[in-house]
Structure 1
Amino acid sequence: MLDLRPVGFIIGLLVVALGAAMLLPASVDLLLGDGNGPAILQAAMLTMFTGGAVALACANAPTKQLGIRQAFVLTAAIWFALPAFGSLPLILGEPDLTFTDAMFEAVSGITTTGSTVIVGLDHLPAGTNLWRGMLNWLGGLGIAFIAMIFLPVMRVGGMQFFRTEGFDTLGKVLPRATDIARALLGVYTGLTALCIATYLLIGMEPLDAVVNGVATIATGGFSPSDASFGKYPGAGEYAGTVFMILGAMPYIRFVQLVSGAPQAFFGDSQIRAMLRWMVYGVGIVTLWRVLTSDQGLEPAFREASFNLVSVFTGTGFFSGSFANWGGFGMVVAFCVGMIGGCSSSSSGALSVFRVQVVLTAIRVQIERIGMPDRMASVRYEGRRVEDDVMNALILYVTGYILAIGTLSVALTLTGVDPTSALFGVWTSIGNIGYGYGPLVARTGTFIDFPELAKWVLILAMLMGRLALLALVVLVLPRFWRQ
């Protein structure tokens, strides 16, 4: 019988920490005296009390160490429990959402998807917008922890490659989870502070700078304005582009960079591939916009850079006429959104690492067809990709594509049109944040989706953040019988 007490103990502590985090937006609204502070404070007290009770009830576990099966349960439980409690300030306070809409908003925030069901962000209390940004930031930090510590151990989606002896992402640089957590927190906090300071210097309002800053580094996309970065054209778009790129890079490389090992950062094949593919996408769309619209070169380049980088990194900010690109531009955005940022970052979708290995495997197979006697193998950064890694990776990519198709069909059965359904699942499972289609066009949000469709999208967001298979494993009866 699987002992869930160690899992419950950790979840309880995390829920307490989440409730404590609510005290910050509650304090902001109390100081501003806008009437929303007591509601967020009530949510904080309820959250901390419940989390503390669960932690105390599970404190008698014989050991706090987790096995592989407990790691699977913990990973899934984090992404279900924290959004449930994170939604309380949105239910008890403004904007007074229904449970479904509040869960959608909270799951979107903690999974760093960035999709929203709220219209009128500019008129929300400061504490509510701050809490939305904090959900992004806390979610991005948690995603990075799980990507670097749990998924490699759980051997999900080929991530076990990052634990093998010759690869220095973890083993040679930071051998213990506590060291990883401490170094990651320092890098994450430092990047966030730098981003917020930059936004303040270019003229953003203080609340906008803070919320946009934490959401940028988390590649989360929650903005305190309905216009997103359209409120700060020019310098805001360029600064946002730079920090979104930084947020989608492997955090461990920043640790190595500040530790005096710059070659690890500048020599990382994921980083080089991501930047190269971004240049290709931005160049193609810039040229297309110049030739097919009345935009000049600089506005077309700036708009293409910001919006494609936002989609590529899974951030979800937007600016300019991106919503009206249509046709060719949205096809390019769809393709880059499927790729996503680097592994071991807060970015979502397939990840650059997986796409690189799949493309290499295709090339090797083509070479084998042309030269059957040649003994070619799939290699990544000079190392052979083992069969168990390759099998897990191919299974993940196949499952990802099948999930998009299956969930898109499920959305159409709830009454959603095919275009809105496809882009809704694409943005949710890839944790991208930007919708497209008739149901999104009116408000730029997902408020017009049927209630059942929103739950399908919630499932898609969780599947994308839980690496698909980590969630599927939990519904297998034999997982619980072992």
Structure 2
Amino acid sequence: MKKITKNFDDFKIINFYVGYVIMGTASLMLIPILISLIFKEWSALLDFIISINIAISLGIVLMFTGKDKVDKVRLQWKHGLIIASSSWIILTLLCAVPYELSGNTTSFLDACFDVMSGFTTTGVLLIQNLDHLSLGLNMWRHILTFVGGQGMVVLALSFMVNHTLGAYKMYVGEGKDAEIVPNVKNTARIIWKISIVYLIVGTTMLWINGMFIGMQPVSAFFHGLFIFMSAWSTGGFAPMSQNILYYHSISYELLTMIFFVIGSLNFALHYAVWQGNKKEIFRNIETQSFFITALIISFFTALKLTNSGVYSNGISVFRKGIYNVLSAHTTTGFGNLYARQFATEWGDFPVVMLIIAMLIGGSACSTAGGFKGLRVGLVFKSIIAEVNKLLNSDRKIKVFKFHHIKEIILEDAMVKSAYLIIILYIILFFIGTALGTYYGYPVLSSAFEAASVTGNVGLSIGITAPTMPTAMKVYYIIAMYLGRLEFISVFALIGVTFGGIKKLWLRLLKQ
């Protein structure tokens, strides 16, 4: 009886914090509501009013069921992990309601697909008639990817005044672990402060550039806002179906390239630079790893595209080749090519280079996906350390370190964790590739799309479409979700769920 009571208390405390996260994210619907009101989009306005009422009502109910335990039950690791992973699932369903009500998706599954793509900053989409979407719904799409980049739990923690004991466990559950300052609530606020400052600067620059290339002021502002939200969050969503190709502007491409490279860097690195430690950019193992892999992949891709005669001059190679490589490597997913051009024009080798770039991804504790430059750096550092140990005398003990904001001792546990996460990403990628080939898609195209959803990238080779098999839609949602939360919190949720079902089943059998 005591154990049943404890399990029920766990359930209630999880409910409270999940409700809190839902309330924080759902309140953001006030922005598209305001936009719809200003621009007299009455249908979209009604959609968001219905949606926000559903979400807020559920949030209140969940918080109410757990409020009596929030100060009595100590938040444990299992709570934090389950709060993060379950919040994402519930919010995906709730935030898909405006999509479904708009009539721009063929099914609720497609709506959930696009929301998960936004939250995970992936950027692949199934939404219909994108070029004629209401401004309110377009705003909602980009809010989702902007908030998803920072994290919904991070958003909730930013406004949390009470009940912050154990907040770090929720923070880690969302795939982040950098403690910029000792207090996790202040860390969350610093992350948002950094993002908002860049949002203001980046939107202004893109707004001015948009007017310079011939867009009307209001249209240029919203395009600049939407594109920056996606660039900074390495999200890949764009207000038009042609993505970055729509703008036909090298200046627009250069600006977005700068923003998504900056957005793929660790928030702790941003804070260190803001504090005046500019040398950290060059000393950090993540930036070293990123620039080395980006340089190698870009060089070989550019070399092959040039030798194959795909592009005839350096500017074309840079705009079409290097841009898409960096978009893939930062897991942004902005593209200035049509999807099928990767398969029909680029050839196999450049596509393989993009697949590798998408799987590696950006930095840890950033808006980027993939298995991260930090883990790649740790793997190579561990290999060098092992070689050194073999070459040196057994009696000589050498401590190996790496620099990541500060000097850190390279420990076996760190290396094992890095290898484990990389292996899990590769398994997820291979399953996605096998599923694509099972349904008749070419192997390389299946691998490209699987790498894109696994690494939370968003580039597509033409497979992702409303007509693709339902099983692939479901798997891609799962792959995006697992890749963004980096497996552990999701595994905790699965373990608790099936453990609870097993206990209930055994109890019923005994009766």
Q: Shorter chain as normaliser: what TM range?
A: 0.7 to 0.9
Match of 2:466 among 447, 461, 464: 447
Q: Any stretches of 5+ residues in structure 2 without a counterpart?
A: 1-5, 158-166, 504-511
TM (norm. structure 2) is 0.83
* Deviation (angstroms), 1:13: 2.0
The one-letter code matched in structure 1 to 2:314 is L
Deviations 1:423-466 (A, max 9, x none): 23211111011122xx53xxxx4323111210011111111012
Question: What secondary structure, in the 3-state scheme, does the structure 2 residue paired with 1:318 have?
Answer: coil
- 1:246 aligned onto 2:255: no
Contact 2:266-2:366 at 8 Å conserved across structures = yes
Taking the aligned partners of 2:127 and 2:426, their CA distance within structure 1 comes to 29
- 1:302 aligned onto 2:327: no
- 1:30 aligned onto 2:37: yes
Taking the aligned partners of 1:87 and 1:271, their CA distance within structure 2 comes to 36
Between 369-378 and 257-266, the greater mean CA deviation after superposition: 369-378
* Deviation (angstroms), 1:103: 0.6
Q: How does 1:322-401 map to 2 (within 5 A)?
A: 323=342, 324-368=345-389, 373=394, 379-381=401-403, 383-401=408-426
- 1:57 aligned onto 2:65: yes
Deviations 1:134-167 (A, max 9, x none): 11011011179499944886798xx8xx6xxxxx
The one-letter code matched in structure 1 to 2:469 is P
Q: Which residue does the alignment assign to 1:215?
A: 230
Question: What secondary structure, in the 3-state scheme, does the structure 2 residue paired with 1:242 have?
Answer: helix
Distance 1:429 1:213, change over 3 A: same
Counting matched residue pairs gives: 464
Question: What secondary structure, in the 3-state scheme, does the structure 2 residue paired with 1:380 have?
Answer: strand
Taking the aligned partners of 2:291 and 2:437, their CA distance within structure 1 comes to 36
Taking the aligned partners of 1:62 and 1:143, their CA distance within structure 2 comes to 20
Deviations 1:192-222 (A, max 9, x none): 2221111112116222111111111111111
Deviations 1:9-62 (A, max 9, x none): 122122222222112112222332343221122112221122122212221214
Contact 2:244-2:336 at 8 Å conserved across structures = yes
Q: Which residue does the alignment assign to 1:271?
A: 287
Distance 1:51 1:178, change over 3 A: same
Contact 2:359-2:454 at 8 Å conserved across structures = no
- 1:472 aligned onto 2:497: no
Question: What secondary structure, in the 3-state scheme, does the structure 2 residue paired with 1:428 have?
Answer: helix
* Deviation (angstroms), 1:132: 0.7
Distance 1:62 1:32, change over 3 A: closer
Percent identity of equivalent pairs: 21
* Deviation (angstroms), 1:242: 0.3
Distance 1:97 1:59, change over 3 A: farther
Distance 1:154 1:129, change over 3 A: closer
* Deviation (angstroms), 1:297: 0.7
Q: Which residue does the alignment assign to 1:165?
A: none
Deviations 1:208-255 (A, max 9, x none): 111111111111111111111112231111111100001000112222
The one-letter code matched in structure 2 to 1:351 is K
Q: Which residue does the alignment assign to 2:100?
A: 91
Q: Which residue does the alignment assign to 1:229?
A: 244
- The CA RMSD measured in Å over matched residues stands at 2.8
Match of 1:102 among 104, 111, 116: 111
Match of 2:149 among 130, 134, 140: 140
TM (norm. structure 1) is 0.88
Taking the aligned partners of 2:128 and 2:432, their CA distance within structure 1 comes to 25
Question: What secondary structure, in the 3-state scheme, does the structure 1 residue paired with 2:318 have?
Answer: helix
Q: How does 1:49-198 map to 2 (within 5 A)?
A: 49-63=57-71, 65-142=74-151, 145=154, 149-150=168-169, 170=179, 174-198=181-205
Distance 1:372 1:325, change over 3 A: farther
Q: Any stretches of 5+ residues in structure 1 without a counterpart?
A: 163-168
Q: Which residue does the alignment assign to 2:161?
A: none
Structure possessing the higher radius of gyration over alpha carbons = 2
